[in-house]
Amino acid sequence: MLQKYKLWFLVAIFGLLTGCSSTVDCDVISYHTLGEPMGETVKIVHQDSELTGSPEFAFFAAQIEEQLNRIGYATKENGASDLLFAIKYGTGEGQEEVARLPKCYTRYRYLYEDYGSPYYRGLECYDGLIDLHSRYVHFLALNVYKPTEPGDPGEVIYQGIANSVSLNNSIGPIMPYLVAALFDGFPGKSGEVRNVAVDRTAVKK
């Protein structure tokens, strides 16, 4: 029995150290007057026009394009479009955290009342290892415009943002989950904050 508890304890500590989970939690909020997708044509751009042609933008835009086609939009690269999807993404400064992991040992005492056994076995813990790490907040923001005339982006009909926290300061590994969360049930209820748990096995990276 004691060996079983030791195994459980090691598994729990390993989980704390690795932060392993089958899902990635993202918070999503949007404000909009956008209806359900009806096959409209969409062009994806960066909110900073100078970054629209960057390799990083192209990589992330491809992930967004896949989601847009899945939910019923028709994406296009050139010419006029019914809607303009302008994205922005980034990572906030890391917040340092300190966690103390417990260190435990087995304690023996002589007790007659312990069901006839001369020994009582218990687990006693105290502060042990110090785990120092930083957490980073990653975000993906989206503005949707309805163009009124060539060269004019028109009015904003959707504003939304998805964010998630990780131990990695690079946004690349977390972006597929931000994209999946933002377009989960898109466009969603205006003004509602949602927590979306994205299944790691269901996301292409």
Give the pLDDT confidence of 114-131 residue by residue, as tens digits: 544 545 455 555 555 555
Does the global pTM surpass 0.95? no
Report the pLDDT averaged over residues 137-160.
91
Burial of 107 (0-12, 13-18, 19+ CB in 10 A): exposed
For residue 180, report the phi and psi dihedrals to the nearest 5 degrees: -60, -40
The residues spanned by each domain of the chain are 23-96+135-202, 97-131
At the topology level of CATH, where does 23-96+135-202 sit? Double Stranded RNA Binding Domain (3.30.160)
Predicted local distance difference test score (pLDDT) of residue 17: 38
Confidence of residue 69 (pLDDT cuts 50, 70, 90): very high
Predicted local distance difference test score (pLDDT) of residue 77: 86
d(CA 200, CA 195): 15
